[in-house]
Structure 1
Amino acid sequence: MLGYKVSAQRIDPRESVARTETAEVRLATGLSGAADAFNPAELLLASIAACMIKGIERVIPPLAFSIDGVEVVLHAVRQDDPPLIVSVKYQLVVDTDETDQRLELLHKNVRKYGTISNTVPLAARLDGVIWRKS
């Protein structure tokens, strides 16, 4: 099985930093937050987006799929008591001339083979659509 390791350290009352061996991400961990860092919910959404984009990169070669760009737009709904994300909606916007059938095939593969996009639905609803960039 593949494993992952991240460490995080508090920098000050507003901010922390998460690190892997060679990269770091600034985190808004204070009560007032830090406008130029990701808060935990935004980090979750960024993780889903990264998973989907990586999934697209993974299936482009075997599907011989042609794209000029991808954007993922996500929106999460949080309940207060207890605090948790109850749903995430996404839009995959793909700049491509591929057919609608091939675009749906891309979407199916992204949802089927993504580590994060397979994990999140175990805790919250994950729904979305794929669009062609106009």
Structure 2
Amino acid sequence: MTTAPLTYTVSASADAHGALLRAAGDDLALETRWQPDAPSTHPGPAELLAGAFAACLLKNVARSSALLPFAYESAQVEVTMHRQDAPPRFTALEYTLHLVTAEPAHRVELLHRNLQKFGTVYTTLAAVCAVSGTVTTSAPAG
């Protein structure tokens, strides 16, 4: 059975005072100014892409918890992306996903393989740059 492709639409606007992204009914302030020495106060394009990757991991942990099933109390992810100037592109992405779970190590590894195989943002970025990461765990309190 084949399903129709999903479509995602966002809108963004900018003026001299700032920029705004509207997605899924939410507004997010953006950093779009070209002032290399000024501190950034909002996420720019690179942070948004890293954030999309992080959201992909977290959403697929939640999805896997229902499908496998896989029990966890919480998940936290840190993503680092590396960019080169010439030609401008991202060259690598590294992540650490931390889960609070009582699941055994082989189930955590199965979850990690599923994240690598079925995450849309994950597989898209892995097609154009090196993606590597680890999953760590800690036992639930109590």
Q: Same fold (TM over 0.5)?
A: yes
Aligned mate of 2:26, from 18, 23, 26 = 23
Aligned mate of 1:96, from 94, 101, 107 = 101
Within-5 A mapping of 1:1-134: 1-12=5-16, 15-32=18-35, 35-133=40-138
Query: d(CA) in 2 for partners of 1:50 and 1:98?
Result: 22
Amino acid at match of 1:27: L
Give % identity.
31
Give per-residue Cα distances to partners, 1:42-94, cap 9 Å, x unaligned: 11100000001000111101212111110111111111111211000001111
Q: Is the 8 A contact 1:16 1:26 kept in 2?
A: yes
TM-score, normalisation: structure 1: 0.92
- TM-superposed CA distance for 1:25, in Å, is 1.6
Runs of 4+ in 1 over 6 A off after TM superposition: none
Match of 1:54, SS?
Answer: helix
Unmatched runs of 5 consecutive residues or more in structure 1: none
Unmatched runs of 5 consecutive residues or more in structure 2: none
Q: Is the 8 A contact 1:11 1:17 kept in 2?
A: no
Q: Closer, same or farther in 2 for the Cα pair 1:29/1:122, shift >3 Å?
A: same
Match of 2:126, SS?
Answer: helix
Q: Is the 8 A contact 1:49 1:72 kept in 2?
A: yes
Match of 2:70, SS?
Answer: coil
Q: Tell me whether 33-42 or 70-79 shows the greater mean CA deviation.
A: 33-42
TM-score, normalisation: structure 2: 0.87
Alignment RMSD = 1.6
